[in-house]
Amino acid sequence: MLVRTERDRPKPSKIVSAIEETLNGGFEIGGSFVPNQQKVWDFIDAANKVIDLKVYTPHGEVKRAEEIASGNVEQFSPKIADIRFDHNGESVEVEYRDNRLSINSDNEELREYVIQIFESTIFDA
């Protein structure tokens, strides 16, 4: 489930309160969301441009994609991806960092566009 807010990093207590009000009662939140690594790469690949990309190496180090000798960066888990999406003549920069998505735009149509791509790649069965 995605929760939409005016800010990308709302306080968890505000999210819980909003959901609780909507559901009118008790519920339980499961563990942290960790998407499938290949689906994250699908989301990154859907961008019009990759501005910066850092990955975790098998030894737990964080390296820029350009530093990976094999060139096959998709065998590693993405740590940070600064990417750009273009839609209807406008661009929006997006940061994917440690399984969190931050959309750098107040334009609701651009934000919705990125969220739809995220949902269709990350949550696609």
Does the global pTM surpass 0.95? Answer: no
Q: What is the per-residue pLDDT across 32-62, written as a single tens digit (0 to 9) for each? A: 666 788 899 999 999 999 999 999 888 888 9
Contact 107, 92 (CB under 8 A): yes
Whole-angstrom distance, CA of residue 96 vs CA of residue 56: 14
Structure tokens at 124: 């696609």
Q: What is the per-residue pLDDT across 88-114, written as a single tens digit (0 to 9) for each? A: 999 999 999 888 889 988 899 999 999
Mean of pLDDT over the chain:
81
Q: Which helix (H) or strand (E) holds 15?
A: helix 12-23
Confidence of residue 9 (pLDDT cuts 50, 70, 90): low
Q: Residue 16: phi, psi to the nearest 5?
A: -60, -45
Q: Where are the domains of the chain?
A: 34-122
Residue that is written with structure tokens 């094999």 in the block? 70
Contact 82, 53 (CB under 8 A): yes
pLDDT recorded at residue 26: 46
